[in-house]
A = this chain, B = another copy of it.
Amino acid sequence: MIPEAQPPHRADNDVPPSKLRARRLGIDTQHEAVVFMRHDCHVCRSEGLTAHARIQLTHGQRSIIATLYHVRSDLLQPEEAGLSEPAWRRLGLKGGEEIVVSHAPTPESLSRLRAKVYGQRLDEGSLGNILSDVVAGRYSDIHLSSFITACAARSLDRPETTALTRAMVDIGDKLEWNVRPVMDKHSVGGLPGNRTTPIVVAIVAAHGLTIPKTSSRAITSPAGTADTMETMAPVDLDIAAMRRVVEREGGCIVWGGAVRLSPADDILIRIERALDLDNGGQLVASVLSKKVAAGSTHLVIDMPVGPTAKIRTPEAAAAVSASLLEVSEAFGIRTKIVAADGTQPVGRGIGPALEARDVLSVLQNAADAPADLRERALALAGALLELAEVVRGDGLDVARQTLADGRAWKKFQRICEAQGGMRQPPLAAHQRPQPAEQGGHVSRIDNRRIAKVAKLAGAPDGKAAGVQLLKRLGDRVEPGEPLFVVHAETRGELAYAMQYLAANRDIVTVADG
């Protein structure tokens, strides 16, 4: 998410222009723009710019705020300013331009943030000011962390949560649809392999409903839903193309990167993750702002509950659910929450193509399709059908029937065609089974390390790479029988994964008996 550059802060008679020549350093600093300057350059000296200072960079009509690091080596010349990738992009530079450097003005909304720290409630105007500074890149990590912490220490009440949701919606793009209802689903804290989305969309769209679904790519996991879907059809659609698919087929499963729905969310989530603070109001605003912005009217939320899931206890689930339902109502969204077991990964494949194979086997009613993935998808699809009031009786039964009689599979193929053409998930050139060293029953699978094997083997960049689990908890195993198969696109990546496995023989534990 790249904030738009802002028009320059009004240069008054305060600053004699301090210019440096811009140089692209190719350093990815994510959201935070960073600039590198020689500590002994005339600008640092005369402006008294210390390391870590927030400074303003201006080129023509564009102006951004960046964090300064001093360079004490010949990495840069004294007349150069080295820019990180977000700084370079936001200033729209080509190379060699002169940029004006000055002290950054303090973001005005910091006074609202301070008021929140001291216990004042935030109204919608204040939240709007804060979020617009956040999205414009005027908040450093220090400011962002203070905002997240203040909202946890002085927890957001219901009106504040609603106001935060509204402000997050208003700061980004909005999708509008000419039909109603507009169906949607969301998973809170996804489990590995929990690729229900393509199945749910296919079932719901097969009933003539509208379900324009955007999904994300993997950040730290071996696959995101968009990565998995991409092995079956193009997902990199712009808004116009997405609309055409939805008009034709009712549903789509595309990458959300082309749409800027609730752009503050990605920025805040990175900080929340680093702090690991339970922050109900932020979670509710994060989920619902994207749904409101996407124009959804009916929503089912998949909420895995378990010790390693995002929601850890039934009590926490109940509190968040109450808030989600109440704020949903304030925005006119009919929401249902489906709580589910969150202790085990779902399906057999780990990695984009391998997860896609699980999805396809469910859609095609294959005999060996993973039952856990199917049942989760059916529960969510059934809940959506009931919410939309298009079925009589039990939504789950209707969803099951839609899958069993091939309507879901047919709809899925049509959606893939509409998105640019269905394709077969690739099969890895290199596959290596991992045999059990002894017989018995599978008593434990280390999810964290199995995901690491999949990443060492190349997932998610290597679409075909990953791990295919052949045995699951409780399964009987003979000595020498394969427990799982490592898939890799290159010999080198296979070697990495096998090397790791050689040193980690206990990722899948087989107990006697």
Option from B2, B26, B70 in Cβ contact (under 8 Å) with A73: B26
Check if B141 sits within 8 Å of A141, measured CB to CB.
yes
Which of the segments A176-184, A190-198, A414-422, A496-504 contacts the partner chain? A496-504
Option from B25, B32, B75 in Cβ contact (under 8 Å) with A26: B75
Least distance between A464 CB and chain B CB atoms (Å): 14
Chain B residue nearest to A492 in the complex (CB): B5
Contact with B along A130-172 (1 / 0, CB 8 A): 0000000000111111101110111000000000000000000
Q: Does A259 contact B (CB under 8 A)?
A: no
Option from B12, B30, B54, B274 in Cβ contact (under 8 Å) with A140: B274
Complex interface: chain B residues within 8 A of A39 (CB): 28
Tell me the bound Cα distance from A277 to B25 in angstroms. Answer: 35
Complex interface: chain B residues within 8 A of A2 (CB): 490, 492-493
Q: Does A271 contact B (CB under 8 A)?
A: yes
Q: A3-B492, A27-B36 are in contact. Are A117 and B72 (CB under 8 A)?
A: no
Option from B143, B219, B496, B504 in Cβ contact (under 8 Å) with A46: B496
State how many copies of this chain the complex holds.
2
| A484-513 at interface with B (beta carbon < 8 Å) | 490, 492-493, 495-496, 499-500, 503-504
Check if B220 sits within 8 Å of A50, measured CB to CB.
yes
Least distance between A152 CB and chain B CB atoms (Å): 5
Option from B13, B69, B148, B154 in Cβ contact (under 8 Å) with A504: B13
Check if B492 sits within 8 Å of A27, measured CB to CB.
no
Option from B25, B42, B143 in Cβ contact (under 8 Å) with A496: B42
Complex interface: chain B residues within 8 A of A27 (CB): 36, 69-73, 75
Chain B residue nearest to A222 in the complex (CB): B48
Which of the segments A347-355, A360-368, A454-462, A475-483 contacts the partner chain? A454-462
Check if A50 sits within 8 Å of B461, measured CB to CB.
no
Check if A142 sits within 8 Å of B141, measured CB to CB.
yes
Q: Does A227 contact B (CB under 8 A)?
A: no
Q: Does A125 contact B (CB under 8 A)?
A: no
Complex interface: chain B residues within 8 A of A71 (CB): 25-28
Tell me the bound Cα distance from A276 to B276 in angstroms. Answer: 24
Tell me the bound Cα distance from A492 to B41 in angstroms. Answer: 13
Complex interface: chain B residues within 8 A of A274 (CB): 54, 140, 142-143
Q: Does A258 contact B (CB under 8 A)?
A: no
Chain B residue nearest to A497 in the complex (CB): B46
| A284-306 at interface with B (beta carbon < 8 Å) | none
Residue of A34, A51, A118, A504 contacting most chain B CB atoms (<10 Å): A51
Tell me the bound Cα distance from A461 to B50 in angstroms. Answer: 13
Contact with B along A383-419 (1 / 0, CB 8 A): 0000000000000000000000000000000000000
Q: Does A114 contact B (CB under 8 A)?
A: yes
| A1-43 at interface with B (beta carbon < 8 Å) | 1-5, 8, 10, 12-14, 16, 24-30, 32, 34, 36, 39, 42
Check if A146 sits within 8 Å of B145, measured CB to CB.
yes
| Sample of 20 A–B contacts (CB below 8 Å) | A8-B499, A12-B503, A24-B73, A25-B71, A26-B72, A27-B69, A27-B70, A28-B39, A28-B69, A29-B51, A29-B52, A42-B496, A50-B219, A110-B275, A140-B141, A141-B142, A142-B142, A142-B145, A153-B153, A153-B154
* Interface set of A (CB-CB < 8 Å, partner B): 1-5, 8, 10, 12-14, 16, 24-30, 32, 34, 36, 39, 42, 45-48, 50-52, 54, 69-75, 84-85, 106, 110, 114, 117-119, 140-146, 148-150, 152-154, 219-220, 270-271, 274-277, 449, 452, 455-456, 458, 461, 490, 492-493, 495-496, 499-500, 503-504
- The 4 A-B pairs of least Cβ separation, nearest first, read A26-B73, A145-B145, A153-B153, A28-B70
